[in-house]
A = this chain, B = another copy of it.
């Protein structure tokens, strides 16, 4: 059976309240007595009981705010699912979670939403941020007021956020390069399509891919990086253009979105077999291209955990006072083929 405060109190010959003050450094206690109690507690292997603590804290309950921008994409649906599961879990321990979904990326409205969450009594906030100076300042402001902020999916570099939960995008580009190098026959050419030139994640993936692929296959030329601005029509146009120009194109790496456009172009030109596609956009919508064999690999972010973890980390910080172990909590880089989808 687990050790309780009462048992420690008896062992130390003091009252439970004294043990409480000793272990939680509440002051108003003789230093020697406190030391002795801490030693005894340590020897007995004391671990505070969550149930007792949760009940005692029930009055001034913990509230966690979750702010998700661009919540209407298939990927974010996974994220939201994870966040809702985490909510169910911590609410059963008496905490409260407010999930606010925004349709698009808008720094101004994100700042506004953060302030609203604070007014609603949030003790901690998790958000998917955009790269914006005002948002960064707001995050710092919250951190100063002792309201921890966790970024997920995307990060705000150099801000006072507690930690970041998401993918190691550079490494995810390297995974794609390794796979591409494995499946391409000798010679031929590879096209890289990214999303936005200034998106930090897209840039990282692209560079990770380029660097690693060059190391692995010097027989294959990598064509210039093109940008589709996460748009399928754009991706389709780019693909068609390159197919016209390079008839020995054998691989396409898609660092962001645009799977449908690329596949449509390949299909129309009858090049689906010759050109092998690897994409980073693992969504329920794109999975069917895997099933049909039009994409070889999808490299995924574990969206579910990206929603789940930030809430749990905030809860543990606010409830147990436990800091996250790492500043960067990278989620698994998942490789999906048509066979391991479920």
Contact = CB atoms under 8 A, between A and B. Distances in A.
Interface of A: 1-2, 47-55, 58, 61, 91-94, 96, 168, 171, 174-175, 177-179, 182-183, 185, 212, 296, 330, 332-340, 342
Contact of A342 (B177, B212, B330, B334): B330
Contacts of A48: 92
A50 B339 CA distance: 39
Contacts of A54: 49-51
Given A182-B182, A333-B340, A340-B335, A94 B51 contact: yes
Contacts of A339: 171, 174-175, 177-178, 212, 333
A179 B337 contact: yes
Specify how many copies of this chain sit in the oligomer.
Answer: 2
Nearest to A55: B51
Given A182-B296, A185-B185, A335-B335, A91 B340 contact: no
A69 B60 CA distance: 47
Contacts of A55: 49, 51-52, 55
Nearest to A57: B51
Nearest to A92: B50
Contacts of A330: 342
A178 B337 contact: yes
